Amino acid sequence: MVEATSCGGVVIFRGKILLLYKNYKNKYEGWVLPKGTVEEGEEHNETALREVKEESGATNPQIIKYVGKSQYTFNTPQNTVLKDVHWFLMMSDSYYSKPQREEYFCDSGYYKYHEAYHLLKFANEKQILEQAYNEYMELKKSNLWGNKKYY
């Protein structure tokens, strides 16, 4: 078993969540949250911000808070990989997104919570979305969402 770590973001702008549509040779197909592998010397928050920018083209994403960790395994021809993904709640400053073609993303967009929840391919990402959106709603209720003093 090999261990790997990724980081990603639940990016929200005006109550809508950023999703990416991946299609790799019709084998890996579906809506996902932006995430990617931690590079040497990177902190988890730095990885999450870099991956959101690279994969989605989101402008000026900002981390609001750490949401939690998901875990899953997958098989490669050589090994079983145990993947830890650290997730951050993020805020964007516009609806702009441009999917990263090199990573086989062919569409992206901001969706209402219930749409996003049903579109997401993986149960662990649905769970993280739920946690992050609840955090977002709490911050909104307390008038802290978008308040620069909060971060």
C-alpha span between 27 and 102 (Å, rounded) = 16
Write the pLDDT tens digit of every residue in 22-51.
998 877 789 999 999 999 999 999 999 999
Are the C-beta atoms of residues 46 and 86 closer than 8 Å to each other? no
Write the pLDDT tens digit of every residue in 101-140.
999 999 999 999 999 999 999 999 999 999 999 999 999 9
pLDDT at 59: 87
Q: Average pLDDT in the 78-87 region? A: 95
When the pLDDT of each residue in the chain is averaged and rounded to a whole number, the result is 94
- Tokens standing for residue 126: 């649905």
